[in-house]
Structure 1
Amino acid sequence: MRQIRSTITKTATVATALAAGLVLSIGGSANATQAAATIHGCPSGAVCLYPDDSWSGDKPTYKFYSYGAHKIYNQYGMKRIFNNQTGGAIARNCYDSAGKDCGGIQRAGTYADYNYTPYNSILLAP
């Protein structure tokens, strides 16, 4: 009888631990989904450029989704860039329109304000 009670207790403990792990796993997925949501008008997976050095009412001027160089036109003065890409993808401001002469790296999940007068493109890369 004592051995059966011990086995039942161990089984219940293992079941409780598995259930707790499942809850943590589900919670982790929910948090990952929230982190990849639209933020300040910038959809998940995009790099957004705003009309000035603020969030501008959550209305970006440009939204870029695909890897490669993206030309920007008539952008002068201070602008905000927000990298809302996923999977660690980066964005770079480039002086040429082909995305070959580029400045520093903007990591996913970050934003920064730059003087865009000298830039002609934004490069998205994995």
Structure 2
Amino acid sequence: MRRTAAALAITAAALVTPGVAHAQATDDYQGCPSGYVCIYPNASWNNGVPEHRYYNYQAYDLTNEFGVHRIFNNQTGGATVQTCKGYGGSNCGDKMAPWTYRDEDLTPINSILLQS
């Protein structure tokens, strides 16, 4: 009986654990889909409505972005995002790890760079 209960407990743990890890890796948060970098129009989550969403690993030029915005990296697998003073992903700052956000003045920022 003890052996059966122990086997059942181990099987249940094996079934639950991968689901939890998978759910965390694929969650949308504050309107930002999993795998995306989202920019919000001010230093808040804007009721879960991002202003911009970016997905592909590349540089994206920004236009008419002034003042403090929230940048959220909801990418997976260690992918990073950088804000850059130059166009085309040049003169970039520090990398932001997945599942982090930063409130940043985008006035001097002209592009962002998504990398794997």
TM > 0.5:
yes
In 2, Cα distance between equivalents of 1:66 and 1:28: 30
* Aligned residue number for residue 11 of structure 2: 22
Give 3-state SS (helix, strand or coil) of 1:102's partner: coil
- Match of residue 86 from structure 1: 76
In structure 1, C-alpha distance between the alignment counterparts of 2:109 and 2:14, rounded to whole Å = 43
Q: Aligned with 1:82: secondary structure?
A: strand
- Which amino acid is 2:73 matched to? N
Aligned pairs for 1:1-126 within 5 A: 13=3, 15-35=4-24, 36-126=26-116
CA shift at 1:31, angstroms? 1.6
SS of aligned partner of 1:20: helix
Give the secondary structure class of the aligned counterpart of 1:103.
coil
Cα distance between partner residues in 2 of 1:93 and 1:21: 45
SS in 1 for 2:94: strand
In the TM superposition, what whole-angstrom CA distance separates every residue of 1:2-36 from its partner, at most 9, and x where no partner exists? Answer: xxxxxxx6xx62x5444333322222222223312
Normalising by structure 2, we get a TM-score of 0.90
- The normalised TM-score by structure 1 is 0.83
Could you say if the C-alpha distance between residues 22 and 66 of structure 1 is closer, same or farther in structure 2, counting changes exceeding 3 Å?
Answer: farther
Q: Distance in 1 between matches of 2:17 and 2:87?
A: 40
CA distance in 1, matches of 2:63, 2:5: 58
How many residue pairs match? The answer is 115
The CA RMSD over aligned residues, in Å, is: 1.5
Q: Percent identity at matched positions? A: 38
SS in structure 2 of the partner of residue 28 of structure 1: helix
Structure 1 or 2, whichever has the larger Rg, is 1
Question: Could you say which structure has the higher helix fraction?
Answer: 1
